[in-house]
Amino acid sequence: MSTKPDRSTKPEAAPAQPAATGRPDGDTSTPLLKLDELKTYFPLRGTFLDRLIGRESGWIKAVDGVSLDVKRGEVVGIVGESGSGKSTLGRTLLGLAPATSGAVTFDSRNVAALKEPQLRQLRLRMQLVFQDPHASLNPAMDLRTAIADPLKIHGITHDPDDLDRRVREVLEVVGLSPPERFLDNYPGELSGGQKQRAVLARALILNPDLLVLDEPVSMLDMSVRAKILSLLGRLKDELGLTYVYITHDLATAKFFCDRIAIMYLGRVVETGPPSAIYDDPKHPYTKALLRAIPDPDPSRHVPRDLPRGEVPDAVNPPLGCAFHPRCSMAYGPCGWEGRDLRELLERRWTRIPEEQYERERAVIGELARIDMPASRVEVPAGKGYQGGDVVELLETVRADAPNDPFWHGVHAIQAEDGHARVDFNTPHDPVLKQQGRVQVACHLWDPELAPRDGPAAASGGDGRDRAQQ
């Protein structure tokens, strides 16, 4: 509450704000925002019966153990595919989604543990800009009311003249000038870029320290994107803001961020300065993302070894490294399991002639029995077949594609009564480890796990060969 008198004079003092803050976290050495093993799980709505008897039907692990520091004045980019949990991470930062465990320390207070009334106080200093500027403005409110609303919510001022003056100022700051032209407009009467500027104005009128930008430009067209991003960059310097920039767009992240964290399935797989990540990506997922950036030169046809398949199910993420089923460089310790075997078989069966498929399919019994996250599965034999037949089939499959990374993870295949037992290597969870200028969570870079031939050889290994076929 003690900051309030200070705030009432702030708009004028805004450009000098970094110097003016006498807060204990004013220096750049201690992070403004610190995430510590943050987890956000959402309960899965099960079937009617599950709900009736109160059985828990699982959790969607949207954010699964993220640790990250954001220093004052820094722009930290959080990059990932859809479904990687980056937006949930942003919402958890602000306390809009409840954290399951871990801590979000903002200004020496744990946001994750605060109750709603205390959070409301904290929201004076941390604001969110949404992806869709149209949907995040109330269609029944003109800009004057919408932008002044945060001031009224926090009781900073109710004086109409003061409100009017501040709204005009902040509209000028975000480049909606002259303000008279926009004050009485409804959001429906503005263009996308103007709406996003209005959303920014609404976020900035409280003079926050931290702005979480959740894909702020992805709904805007290209020409407007650059303008909004350069506006954001200018505002950061002028108002001393700190940004968490959530995006799926590596190109803007490179241009905009001081540091980037690449997220995959709720975890950070690689983090470091953009220059290091773009020049020498370490994690196979980062490499794949960078390869996926469209190439403006149509004559150059670069083999894009894009990850196969989709982002896996966040309810039952793959064992070990979550990226291993899609990774061309995966090997022994990455966490191979029963579901990968099923996928391997199904992938094979879509390629072979139909009669061969019929023959092979008959050897194996119910596929659902191997479709589980376990390091040891029993592959049931089909009607009239024995465990030995299954082993034989699996060996044929291996002989046909010995380079598939899957086989690095198979420890042993044994025939048993009525089924074949497949033992996989023990899965290891990758953790972020310093590697040059970046931190990367990948077994290829973990000296303790001793990759097949060392990372250098692995990066030029079978993944490339396959891509060039």
Partner 1 sequence: MAAPDDSRVPRRPGLLGRQFRRVSGPIKESRGLPRVVLWIGTAITGMWVLVAIFAPWIAPYGYAQYQTAAGERFPKHLPPNMDHLLGTTVQSTDVFSRIIWGARTEVEVVILAVLFSLAIGLPVGLISGFKGGWLDRVLVLIMDALFAFPYLLLAIVIAFLLSDVLASGVLTAAIAISVVYVPQYFRVVRNHTISVREEPFVEAARAMGARPRWIVTKYVFANVVQSVPVVATLNAADSILTLAGLGFLGYGIQPTQGAEWGYDLQRAIADAGAGIWWTGLFPGIAIVSLVTGLTLLGEGLNDVLNPLLRPRRTEPVKFPDKQDDGAETGRTQPEQRGKS
Give residues in contact with partner 1 (CB under 8 A): 94, 96, 119-121, 123-124, 127-128, 130, 132, 135-142, 144, 149-150, 153-154, 161, 164-165, 168, 183-184, 199, 202, 206
d(CA 435, CA 50): 46
CB of 111 to partner 1, least distance (A): 12
Name the β-bridge partners of 109.
Answer: 106
CA dihedral (286, 288, 294, 299) positive or negative = positive
CB of 170 to partner 1, least distance (A): 14
- Cβ(432)–Cβ(283) below 8 Å: no
CB of 263 to partner 1, least distance (A): 21
| Backbone phi and psi for residue 226, each to the nearest 5 degrees, phi listed first | -60, -40
CB of 7 to partner 1, least distance (A): 13
- Cβ(244)–Cβ(263) below 8 Å: no
Nearer to partner 1, 133 or 317 (CB): 133
- Cβ(397)–Cβ(345) below 8 Å: yes
Nearer to partner 1, 180 or 297 (CB): 180
What's the order of all strands across the beta sheet hosting 101-106?
Answer: 59-71, 31-43, 101-106, 109-110
CB of 395 to partner 1, least distance (A): 53
Nearer to partner 1, 148 or 289 (CB): 148
d(CA 308, CA 285): 11
Nearer to partner 1, 55 or 165 (CB): 165
Nearer to partner 1, 159 or 400 (CB): 159
CB of 12 to partner 1, least distance (A): 8
CB of 122 to partner 1, least distance (A): 8
Q: Is 446 helix (H, G, I), strand (E, B) or coil?
A: coil
Nearer to partner 1, 61 or 168 (CB): 168
Nearer to partner 1, 149 or 429 (CB): 149
Nearer to partner 1, 20 or 119 (CB): 119
CB of 146 to partner 1, least distance (A): 9
Cα 42–Cα 45–Cα 93 angle in degrees, nearest 5 = 15
CB of 116 to partner 1, least distance (A): 9
d(CA 303, CA 328): 14
CB of 162 to partner 1, least distance (A): 9
CB of 140 to partner 1, least distance (A): 4
d(CA 66, CA 431): 11
Nearer to partner 1, 188 or 454 (CB): 188
d(CA 200, CA 268): 28
Nearer to partner 1, 142 or 238 (CB): 142
Q: Is 12 helix (H, G, I), strand (E, B) or coil?
A: helix
Nearer to partner 1, 128 or 311 (CB): 128
Q: How far is CA 134 from the centre of its chain?
A: 23
H or E segment and range at residue 42: strand 31-43
CA atoms within 13 A on the CB side of 111: 29
CB of 129 to partner 1, least distance (A): 9
Nearer to partner 1, 189 or 346 (CB): 189
* Range list of β-strands (E), 72-132: 75-79, 101-106, 109-110, 126-129
Q: How far is CA 90 from CA 96, 115, 118, 219, in A?
A: 9, 18, 18, 18
Number of helices followed by number of strands (H, E) in the chain: 19, 15
Q: How far is CA 97 from CA 85, 91, 238, 318, 345, in A?
A: 12, 5, 30, 24, 39
Question: Is 294 exposed, middle or buried, given 0-12, 13-18 or 19+ CB atoms closer than 10 A?
Answer: exposed
